[in-house]
A and B are shown apart, each in its own frame.
Chain A
Amino acid sequence: MIHDLTLSHGGWVPQLFPDAVFLATTPVLYGLTWPDAPSRLAGAVLVGPPHWSEPPVHRLALSVPERDDELAVASRLVDHALETVGAARGGVVQTLSPIDPDGAIAGVLEQKGFERVRSVVRYRFALKTAFRVVSATLERLAARGRIPDDHELVAYGDEGEGISRLCLASLGQLTPGHLRAIGEYPHGEVGRASSLVLKQRGETVAALAVDLASTGTAIFDPLLIADGFTDAWAFPLLTRRVSEILIDRGVVTGEAEIGSDNTKMVRFMAAISARVVATKVQYRRFIERR
C-alpha cells in the first residue's frame, strides 16, 4: 500500500533524502508498505515541487533498502510518482541528483521509460600535475600576449550574491561547494583560502569554489564562467593559483565532477592524467500533459 507520508513523516526527509535541501519548497513523500508488514516501511519516494519552467520539471528521488524485494518496491514507488506528476498536469520527471547507473534503481527507472540525459564523472588527479599543465598553458598564452593585466583574484566569500546568480545561471542550482564557499555551511580554512573569484575591470568573469574533504582530498566545484566571457586565460589562471595554494598547504590530490558533455574539461582531465573514480547519471522522463 502506498501512503502519503508528507504530513505524518515529513521529518524523515532530511535523513532519507539529504539532497532535498536543494529543493526550494516542500517535496511530497510517499512510502510503501506490504500487507504482511503494514507498519514496516519498505521504501520511500520523494517528488519535488515543480520547477517553473517549460515544461515544468519535477525532481524524483528513491530510497529503498537493499532487500529481496528492492526492485518490486522501487517499481511501485516510481509508478506512483509518475501518477502524481501526471495528476499535476505532467511535465518532466528528473532524478533529484545523478545516481549510480549500475544500481538497481537505475534499472527500474530505465524500465519505466526514463532516459539517461547526462553523466557526471568524478575524476581524481594529482594537484602537482594539474599545476604543471596549467602553468605551461599560461606561459604559452603569456608569450602571445593573451593575458591582460587588468585582472585580480579575490576571496570567494566576499562576492557571495553575485556568484550565486552566476551559479544559478550556469548550473541551475547552488552547488554544495558554492554554498560552503559563501559561508552557508561550515568551510575549512584551506577551502576558504583556495576558493577564489577572478575579476577583470571590477567585473566577475570566473569563480572556483574548493573544499577540503575529510580524506584530505580537495573537492573542486564546477568552474563558473560569466555569460559571454570566452577568453581562454581565465580557467588556467584560476586553476593554477588555486592549485598553488592547495599544494602550499600540503594537499596532494584533487577531485572534480565533470559532465560527460563538457568535452573541454574531459580533454583537460585526460591531459592531467586524471582517473575516473565514479560515474553517476541523471535520468529523466517526459509525462505528457492532458
Chain B
Amino acid sequence: MTDVVHVHLPDLPWSALIDDASSRLLPNLVSMIEDGSSGVLPPVGPHPSIEGMLMTGRPPSLHGLFSYESVRIDGLGTDRANRKDLRCATIWERLDASGMASASLNFPATRFSRSHHGLVVGDVFFMVCSPDADAWPILPGAIAMAGGDPRTFHEWRLHPEALSERQIDVFFEAPSRADATARRIVARLLSENASVHCLATHLLETGAAGRALFVRYDALSAWNLQRMRLEGAAAERRAAWEFARMLDAFVGRLMALVTGEETLFVVTGGVEEWPFCIARGPDVPVDRLWPDGFDLASVPGLVAKRLGIESFPTRGRDDEPAPVCHHLAPTDDGWSSAEGIEIDWSAPPAVDAHGIAGPGRSRTLHMQACRHDGLMACAEYLRLNGAVEAAREHYRRILEEAPAHVLATAGLCRCELSDGDLEAARACLDALRTGEGERVASIRDLEIEMLVREGRIDDALEAYLPTVAGRTPTVGSARLAAMLAQACRARGDDRLATNLDRLALEGLWRGGVDLDFGDAPTSRGPGSGRPGSGAP
C-alpha cells in the first residue's frame, strides 16, 4: 500500500485556488483544501530552491540547488543539474536507506541517483529532446532502480508526434490562428506531463510505487498564470488555464487511485514568492491553516512522520556543515566503494594532439554565468532571510569576477540600504546608472527606497505615485507602498498612509508576499480570504 502521495505543481499560483472564479476550474484541489490543512508558506526564492527544500527538508543554503543548469561534473561545460548539485540526501534516499521502497518522478537534479529498494526517474527522462519518437533514447543515469530492466520504461513516454491535432486544439480558443511555436510548446508540455502521469498512475495501480510516490508536473512552467486572470484577454490564457485544469484532473485521478483512508496526500506548488502546501490524511487537521513555523522544509518531515521516520532532519542552521550526498548513501552503495579508487596512469597524450584542452572561451563564460546564477540565488535567499552580511559576501564574490553584474550590484545596494549605509548604497546606484543597470526596472525602486531612507518623503512620493497610477500593483511596488505608508504615518499623514496601505495590500494580494505592517495583525490563507486582510 502507498502511504504517501506527494504531488508538486510548480507555478500553480495559490490565488488560482482561492479566487471564486478560477477555483471552480480546480475542484479536486479545492476539495483537498476543505478536507485537510492548507495555506501559503514563506517564500524561499526561485523554483529549484523550492524543489530542493521539498526534496531534502533543508534550506537552500544547505541543499545547494539554485539553478536548473549547472557546471558539468567533468568541468567541460554546463548541463542540466544532476544529483551532485544537491548537497543533502532526498526524502526518498532517506526512505531507501531505511529499507523502504518509494518512487520519485520528474524531480530536477536527480540524474545519476541511486536506489536500492525503489525507483527514481529524473526530469531528463521525460524531457522531449528529440523530434522523432523513435530517436528518443533514455539518457544514461536518468533512471535509478533497484532491479528490473529500464528499457521497458520508454513505453510510458508519450512523444508529441503521437498526439493528434484535436488533442492540442483544445488548448487554444482559436486553434486555426495559433502559431506553430505555441502549438509546439503545448505539445511538448502535454506529452511530458502526460508521460509523468502515465508512469505515476501505473505505479499506483500496480503497487509498484512502494510506500511513497513523489511526482512533479511542470506543465505550468511556461505560463505566468499569476498574471493571467481569468477575465483577462491574454493570448495564452486558454492554454495556461487548460493546463491548470489538466493538473487538477491528474491530482483527482491520483486521489482516486489511493483508496485507503490512511494515505497522506500532499500537494505543493505556487509561484516563487508564494509557495503553498495542501495536505489531507491521517493526523492532518481538517479545514485548517498551517500553524506558524510550518514551511517548505516541513513537508518532507510530514511525509517522514507518516512513514514512521521520526529522526528525519528538516531545516537546519545555516552554519551547519553541509552534508555531501555520497556520505549519506548506504554503505554498500557503489559510490562508497568507488570513493577509494585511485588512478596511477594517465591518458595517452596523442588524443590531445590538437592542443584543445578544457572548455573553450564561450563555455568558460557560460560556466561562469551559471556559477553566478547559483551565487545570486543563494544571496537573494540569504538577504530575504535577514542574513545580510552573508548575502553581501555572495554579491561581492560575483562582482569580483563580473564587476558589471547588474543584479549583484542591485542586491548589494539593497543590503547597504537595509544596513542604512546610504553612501555605499549610493555608490551601487551610481554603478547601476552608468552601466547596463538602466535596463533593470528595479533601479527605480532602489532610487525611491533611497529617497525614503534619506527622509525625502515628498520626493519619494512624487517618484512613486506616477508609477502605480492606473496600473496593477506588483510585489515590488507593494513593498515600496508599505515603506512609504510607514513613513507617512510617522509624520502624521494618516490618510495618505491608509491609501498607501491599500495599494500595498492590492500588490500583496496579487503577489502574496508578507509585509511588515507594524502593529497591524497579518494572516494568510483561504480561511482569512486574502493574505494580510487584517491590515488597515
B6 within 8 A of A: no
B137 within 8 A of A: yes
B335 within 8 A of A: yes
Contact partners of A183 in chain B: CB under 8 A:
361
Contact partners of B111 in chain A: CB under 8 A:
26
DSSP majority for the B interface? loop
Q: Are A18 and B352 in touch, CB under 8 angstroms?
A: yes
A134-178 contacts to B, CB under 8 A, are 176-177
Most central of A28, A39, A88 by chain B CB within 10 Å: A88
B468 within 8 A of A: no
A117 within 8 A of B: no
Most central of A3, A14, A21, A29 by chain B CB within 10 Å: A21
Q: Are A18 and B351 in touch, CB under 8 angstroms?
A: yes
A261 within 8 A of B: no
A15-50 contacts to B, CB under 8 A, are 15-21, 23-29, 31, 33, 38-41, 47, 49-50
Given contacts A8-B335, A39-B342, A87-B151, contact A15 B347 (CB under 8 A): yes
Q: Are B135 and A55 in touch, CB under 8 angstroms?
A: yes
B84 within 8 A of A: yes
Cα A58 to Cα B139 in complex, Å, equals: 10
A75-104 contacts to B, CB under 8 A, are 84, 86-91, 97, 100
Of B24-32, B70-78, B447-455, the one with at least 4 CB within 8 A of chain A: B70-78
Contact partners of B345 in chain A: CB under 8 A:
65
Q: Are B356 and A26 in touch, CB under 8 angstroms?
A: no
Task: Report the interface size for chain A: residues with CB under 8 A from the other chain.
Answer: 65
B95 CB → nearest A CB, Å: 20
Contact partners of A31 in chain B: CB under 8 A:
338, 341
Contact with A along B43-79 (1 / 0, CB 8 A): 0000000000000000000000000000011111101
**Interface residues on chain B, size class:** 35 or more
Of B99-107, B126-134, B213-221, B478-486, the one with at least 4 CB within 8 A of chain A: B126-134
B466 within 8 A of A: no
B73, B131, B136: the one within 8 Å of A11 (CB): B73
Q: Are A54 and B76 in touch, CB under 8 angstroms?
A: no
Cα A1 to Cα B76 in complex, Å, equals: 27
Cα A20 to Cα B357 in complex, Å, equals: 10
CB-nearest residue of chain A to B325: A7
B446 CB → nearest A CB, Å: 36
Q: Are A5 and B76 in touch, CB under 8 angstroms?
A: no
Q: Are B79 and A26 in touch, CB under 8 angstroms?
A: yes
Q: Are B342 and A179 in touch, CB under 8 angstroms?
A: no
A197 within 8 A of B: no
A9 within 8 A of B: yes
Cα A94 to Cα B129 in complex, Å, equals: 20
A268 within 8 A of B: no
Cα A259 to Cα B3 in complex, Å, equals: 61
B428 CB → nearest A CB, Å: 33
Q: Are B343 and A54 in touch, CB under 8 angstroms?
A: no
Q: Are B343 and A50 in touch, CB under 8 angstroms?
A: no
Cα A29 to Cα B356 in complex, Å, equals: 20
Contact partners of A9 in chain B: CB under 8 A:
338, 341
Q: Are B335 and A7 in touch, CB under 8 angstroms?
A: yes
Q: Are B361 and A185 in touch, CB under 8 angstroms?
A: yes
Q: Are B357 and A52 in touch, CB under 8 angstroms?
A: no
Q: Are A18 and B347 in touch, CB under 8 angstroms?
A: yes
A63 within 8 A of B: yes
Q: Are A25 and B356 in touch, CB under 8 angstroms?
A: no
Contact partners of B76 in chain A: CB under 8 A:
13-14, 20-21, 23
Given contacts A26-B82, A49-B140, contact A14 B112 (CB under 8 A): no
A70 CB → nearest B CB, Å: 11
A13, A91, A185, A219: the one within 8 Å of B74 (CB): A13
CB-nearest residue of chain B to A100: B350
Cα A26 to Cα B351 in complex, Å, equals: 19
Q: Are A184 and B135 in touch, CB under 8 angstroms?
A: no
Contact partners of B20 in chain A: CB under 8 A:
none
B476 within 8 A of A: no
Contact with A along B343-375 (1 / 0, CB 8 A): 111111011101111111111000000000000
CB-nearest residue of chain B to A13: B74
Contact partners of B82 in chain A: CB under 8 A:
7, 26
Q: Are B341 and A56 in touch, CB under 8 angstroms?
A: no
A69 within 8 A of B: no
B135, B140, B346: the one within 8 Å of A15 (CB): B346
Q: Are A6 and B73 in touch, CB under 8 angstroms?
A: yes
A4, A13, A53, A179: the one within 8 Å of B356 (CB): A179
A108 CB → nearest B CB, Å: 15
B141 within 8 A of A: yes
CB-nearest residue of chain B to A27: B74
B129, B335, B356: the one within 8 Å of A176 (CB): B356
B150 within 8 A of A: yes
Contact partners of B400 in chain A: CB under 8 A:
none
Q: Are B354 and A3 in touch, CB under 8 angstroms?
A: no
A216 within 8 A of B: no
Contact partners of A15 in chain B: CB under 8 A:
346-347
A212-259 contacts to B, CB under 8 A, are 213, 219
Contact partners of A177 in chain B: CB under 8 A:
354
Contact with A along B123-160 (1 / 0, CB 8 A): 00000011110111111110000000111001000000
Cα A24 to Cα B366 in complex, Å, equals: 13
A282 CB → nearest B CB, Å: 14
B339 within 8 A of A: yes
Cα A39 to Cα B336 in complex, Å, equals: 12
Chain B residues engaging chain A, CB cutoff 8 angstroms: 72-77, 79-80, 82-84, 111-112, 129-132, 134-141, 149-151, 154, 325-326, 334-335, 337-348, 350-352, 354-363
17 A-B residue pairings within 8 Å (CB atoms): A1-B337, A5-B338, A5-B341, A7-B82, A7-B325, A8-B326, A8-B335, A8-B338, A9-B338, A12-B343, A14-B74, A20-B76, A29-B74, A38-B340, A47-B140, A54-B134, A89-B138
For the A-B complex with A7-B335, A14-B358, A21-B357 known, give 4 more contacts whose Cβ atoms are closer than 8 Å: A11-B74, A21-B360, A87-B150, A89-B136
